């Protein structure tokens, strides 16, 4: 976690609160050391910007690592559906592979 980068992102978010990338970047800054904050940011990001595809993989991985299996499953499935809709083959493949690993581990 880089506190300078976090402060920069918060300043940018204050100026551009509707930019999903800024919220995504802020969530990623918190994933390792403050996962609950990252989870909250991802929750809001996916609710407010459901078409922001990059968030689904990282949100699902975080939810899974925190034991929120239902949220992880939903994020994987929603991300897969969105990737199909957007015809984003690379992201679709990445999400499908991660989801298979999730299903193998969790059931």
pLDDT value for 3? 86
Residue 36 has pLDDT above 70, yes or no: yes
Structural domain for 69, as ranges: 3-106
Which residue is it, tokens 């969790």? 106
CB atoms within 10 A of CB 88: 16
pLDDT value for 47? 97
Structure tokens at 63: 């939810």
Distance CA 45, CA 18 (A): 10
Global confidence as pTM: 0.92
pLDDT value for 66? 97
Distance CA 77, CA 95 (A): 8
pLDDT value for 33? 93
pLDDT in tens, 15-26: 999 999 999 999
pLDDT value for 1? 62
pLDDT in tens, 73-103: 999 999 999 999 999 999 999 999 999 999 9
Domain count along the chain? 1
The CATH number that applies at residue 86 is 1.25.40.10
Residue 107 has pLDDT above 80, yes or no: no
């Amino acid at each position: 976690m880089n506190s300078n980068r976090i402060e920069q992102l918060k300043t940018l978010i204050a100026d551009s609160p509707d930019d999903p990338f800024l919220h995504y970047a802020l969530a990623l800054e918190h994933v390792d050391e403050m996962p609950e904050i990252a989870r909250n940011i991802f929750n809001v990001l996916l609710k407010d910007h459901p078409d922001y595809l990059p968030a689904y993989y990282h949100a699902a991985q975080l939810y899974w690592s925190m034991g929120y299996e239902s949220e992880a499953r939903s994020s994987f499935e929603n991300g897969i559906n969105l990737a199909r809709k957007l015809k984003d083959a690379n992201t679709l493949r990445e999400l499908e592979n991660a989801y298979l690993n999730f299903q193998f581990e969790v059931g």
